[in-house]
Structures are given as structure tokens and as C-alpha cells.
Amino acid sequence: MQLTWIDWTVIVVYFALNLAVGLYCWRNTAKRAGDFFVFGRNVA
């Protein structure tokens, strides 16, 4: 099976979006690592 340029573009875009979401989540959780365990001290 030969992959065309459209296939490669879809694969690259998919991995780029996954990387972008991962970096965004990592940057936000790195600032509030303690909030992970206490849910930001919010009950509601």
C-alpha cells in the first residue's frame, strides 16, 4: 500500500494537534500541580 501526500498530511496534522494539546495541558498543570490532588479547594 502506497501512501499519498494527502495521507501523510493527515498523519502529520493529527500528530501536531496531539502534541499541541499535550503541551497546552502540560503547561497548565505544571503551574497548579497541587490543585490536582485538592481539586483547587473547590467543593462546588
pLDDT, tens digit, for every residue of 1-44? 899 999 999 999 999 999 999 998 887 765 666 666 666 566 55
Per the domain annotation, does 12 fall within a domain? yes
Instruction: Look at residue 44 and tell me if it is in a domain.
Output: no
Residue 39 inside a domain? The answer is: no
9 in any annotated domain? yes
Q: Does residue 26 sit within a domain?
A: yes
**Is 1 domain-assigned?**
yes
Is pTM, for the whole model, over 0.95?
no
Q: Is residue 16 part of a domain?
A: yes
Task: Give me the domain span that covers residue 1.
Answer: 1-30
Alpha-carbon distances, residue 40 vs 21, 23, 43 (angstroms): 21, 21, 9
pLDDT of residue 5: 96
